[in-house]
Amino acid sequence: MRWEELTAPEFAAAVRETGVCVVALGVIERHSDHLPLGTDYLVGHKIACLAAEKEPAVVFPPFYFGQIYEARCFPGTLTLKPTLLLEVLQGVLDEIGRNGFRKIVLYNAHGGNSYLLGFLAQSALWEEKPYSLYIPLRRMTPEGEKEWEAIRDTSFGGHACEWETSLVLGTYPHLVKMERVPEAPGVPLKRMEHLPPTLTGIWWYSDYPEHYAGDARSASVGKGELLVRLESDYLAQYIAAVKADQVVPALEREFFARVKQVSGA
Ligand SMILES: [Zn+2]
């Protein structure tokens, strides 16, 4: 169910019946020159909607504010300053909780969000909320990964690659410009190799200054349809596991009761 398509009474019933809201997190950023800027949020939201048809949940409207500072050197990138971004994300989660959801799944559709979401997950212990936050760390089952490995033609990627280009071909084929796929694969330039393994903000740019990681020439609609099925099936299973989970909410209640004890409240 899509939040924005429900009437108010339908929404109230959906909250009671499912208890779970799924927020797909994408961004607006360059994807080489052959995929649309909205690739991550378009694909993420589509997969969330398909998953919620298989395992009922309410899908939050398309959301595309995330960490994508490393693409600000390209036209069309859209993001918010770090403090505002965290406030917006927290505000969105709180508003979902205010509407009665006790469980929220944050489905990340953008690799560059991973540290941000890790911090957001940890921030759940800052103060007690009426909801629990769940962030899946996989996009498909290990068996699904084997199925994908068996048909993929390239062994590397990460951005606008065979995998991601196929996903857009499998969801929004009219938005893919296969004739604009670069002739040369996007391989890491390794410009930080002189350092021991290091994290800096510029690391992605140091490897991929054209925002292309992989080789999309072998992407296809058929591969995309398989990926969409594997990823939406997995997310549906994940939503079912979240619905059944009683442990995380109980542990959070226990944790915050001890926090109160410490402060003598
Ligand atoms: Zn992407």
Chain centre to alpha carbon of residue 47: 10
Question: Ligand 1 being an ion, which residues bring their Cβ within 5 A of it?
Answer: 39-40
Cα 38 to middle of ligand 1, angstroms: 8
Centre of ligand 1 from the C-alpha of residue 164, in Å: 7
Q: 176 CA distance to ligand 1 centroid (A)?
A: 13
Q: What is the distance between the alpha carbons of residues 60 and 103, in angstroms, rounded to a whole number?
A: 13
Residue 76 C-alpha to ligand 1 middle, in angstroms? 14
HEC sequence for the chain: CEHHHCCHHHHHHHHHHHCEEEEEECCECCECECECCCHHHHHHHHHHHHHHHHCCCEECCCECCCCCHHHCCCCCCECCCHHHHHHHHHHHHHHHHHCCCCEEEEEECCHHHHHHHHHHHHHCCCCCCCCEEECCCCCCCHHHHHHHHHHCCCCCCCECCHHHHHHHHHHCHHHCCHHHCCCCCECCCCCCCCCCCCCCCCHHHHHCCCCCEECHHHCCHHHHHHHHHHHHHHHHHHHHHHHHCCHHHHHHHHHHHHHHHHHCC
Over the stretch 73-129, which tens digit does the pLDDT of each residue have?
A: 999 999 999 999 999 999 999 999 999 999 999 999 999 999 999 999 999 999 999
- Cα(119) to ligand 1 centroid in Å equals 21
Query: What pLDDT is recorded for position 181?
Result: 97
In whole angstroms, what is the distance from residue 80 CA to residue 116 CA?
A: 13
pLDDT over 80 at 265, yes or no:
no
Say what percent of the chain tops pLDDT 70. 100
How far, in Å, from the CA of 30 to the mean position of ligand 1? Answer: 8
The pLDDT of residue 221 is 98
- In this predicted structure, the answer to whether residue 263 has a pLDDT above a threshold of 90 is no
Quote the ligand 1 centre to 12 CA distance (angstroms).
33
pLDDT for the residue numbered 264: 85
Distance 160 CA to ligand 1 centre (A): 6
Q: Is the pLDDT of residue 222 over 90?
A: yes
pTM of the model: 0.96
Domains of the chain from N-terminus onward = 3-247 (3.40.50.10310)
| 31 Cα to the center of ligand 1, angstroms | 6
Looking at the chain, how many residues does it have?
A: 265
pLDDT in tens, 31-51: 999 999 999 999 999 999 999
Q: Summarize the confidence of residues 211-240 as an average pLDDT.
A: 98
CA of 264 from ligand 1 middle (Å) equals 47
CA distance 110 to 243: 24
Average pLDDT for the chain: 97
